[in-house]
Structure 1
Amino acid sequence: MKVAFLLWLILVVVYDFRMRRVPNWLVLAGAVFALGVLALGIGPLGHDWRAALFGAGAGFGFLLLFYATGLMGAGDVKFAGALGLWVGMPALAPIWIIASLMATAHSVLWLSLKRWPIFPRLALLLAGPARASESGDAPTRRLRIIPYAAYLALAAAVWMVWGRQGR
């Protein structure tokens, strides 16, 4: 099941970095698969239903506050809920910390490159793809430049591989 979990995480990382969104079908597929794995008792991190449901609720609920203030996209929030099912409540805090540090590094690097355009292509890559404006005019930059779901997925992979070695 670790391979399936890592494959799902990789899909989220690639999609979020390239498109700056996580599609509903990908979040739903991960959540349904996590529920199936939990029902069979073969989860990659070995937690129970209670930890999984608390993790899903905490992941979704906490990031919902950021969505409500316009700081985060809905895909990031839904992905955090599905991720909580996979990793459970105990692993969620270290994953959030790791992901937040990566997202902070992303934003600091982007802001630095925006101010001092030494590597303009890297700044464009960090900003994400352009999207068409509502009126059909020339593409405009997205407001959300941080692919937070991708960083959550990377942090979850790091946690699964290295964070659980002492257990």
Structure 2
Amino acid sequence: MILIWSLWIFLVAGHDLRRRRVPNWLVLFGAAFACITLLMNAQPFGIDWLSAIAGAAVGFGFLLIFYATGLMGAGDVKFAGALGLWVGLQALLPIWIGASLLAGVHAVVWLALRRWPYFPAIAIALSGTPVASNDEAGPQKRQRHIPFAAYLAIASIGWLVSGSPKL
């Protein structure tokens, strides 16, 4: 089960780093598989249904505030909810702290490189895929430069490697 969880985490991180999007099918796969592991009593991190549901609710609900204010994409919020199903409520705080630190470093480096003309390729890579502007297609979507779902995924791997879960 850890292998499937890890594959899912790496897919989310790769997709978000590359496209600044987490597709719904990927979030739904992770959430469905988390529920299956709970039903089969094969949950790899030793959490029960109550902790999983609490983790999903808090993960989704807390980040929903950032989505509502336009600071975060919907994929980040949905992924946080699915991740909460896997790791439970207790693991979310250290994962959020790690992800927020990574996102903060990303933002500082991106802002510094935007103003420093020596490494434009790195600044472009950190900013993500540019959104095509087409005035006839309606309002342009807000660009999201920080792939927070990817940083949640990376922090989750760090949480796993640190020995925090009961394996």
TM-score, structure 2 as length reference? 0.93
Instruction: Tell me if the contact between 2:46 and 2:166 (Cα under 8 Å) persists in the aligned partners.
Output: no
What is residue 54 of structure 1 aligned with on the other side? 54
CA distance in 1, matches of 2:161, 2:2: 10
Aligned length: 165
Instruction: Tell me if the contact between 2:113 and 2:120 (Cα under 8 Å) persists in the aligned partners.
Output: yes
What is residue 35 of structure 1 aligned with on the other side? 35
CA distance in 2, matches of 1:50, 1:166: 17
Instruction: Tell me if the contact between 2:34 and 2:85 (Cα under 8 Å) persists in the aligned partners.
Output: yes
Query: Identical aligned pairs, as a percentage?
Result: 58
Deviations 1:124-157 (A, max 9, x none): 00000112224269xx996210000000011111
Deviations 1:47-96 (A, max 9, x none): 10000000000000000000000000000000000000000000000000
CA distance in 2, matches of 1:108, 1:16: 19
Q: What is the correspondence of 1:148-167 to structure 2 with a 5 Å cutoff?
A: 148-164=148-164
1:105 partner amino acid: V
Gapped regions of structure 2 (runs ≥ 5): none
Gapped regions of structure 1 (runs ≥ 5): none
CA distance in 2, matches of 1:166, 1:37: 15
Instruction: Tell me if the contact between 1:130 and 1:142 (Cα under 8 Å) persists in the aligned partners.
Output: no
CA distance in 2, matches of 1:120, 1:96: 30
CA distance in 2, matches of 1:40, 1:49: 11
Instruction: Tell me if the contact between 1:129 and 1:141 (Cα under 8 Å) persists in the aligned partners.
Output: no
Whether 1:7 aligns to 2:10 is no
The Cα shift of 1:163 comes to 3.9
1:59 partner amino acid: G
What is residue 96 of structure 1 aligned with on the other side? 96
What is residue 44 of structure 1 aligned with on the other side? 44
What is residue 107 of structure 1 aligned with on the other side? 107
- RMSD across aligned C-alpha pairs, in angstroms? 1.9
CA distance in 1, matches of 2:166, 2:84: 21
Whether 1:22 aligns to 2:26 is no
Instruction: Tell me if the contact between 1:80 and 1:152 (Cα under 8 Å) persists in the aligned partners.
Output: yes
What is residue 125 of structure 2 aligned with on the other side? 125
Instruction: Tell me if the contact between 2:79 and 2:149 (Cα under 8 Å) persists in the aligned partners.
Output: yes
Could you list the structure 1 runs, at least 4 aligned residues long, displaced by more than 4 angstroms after superposition.
none
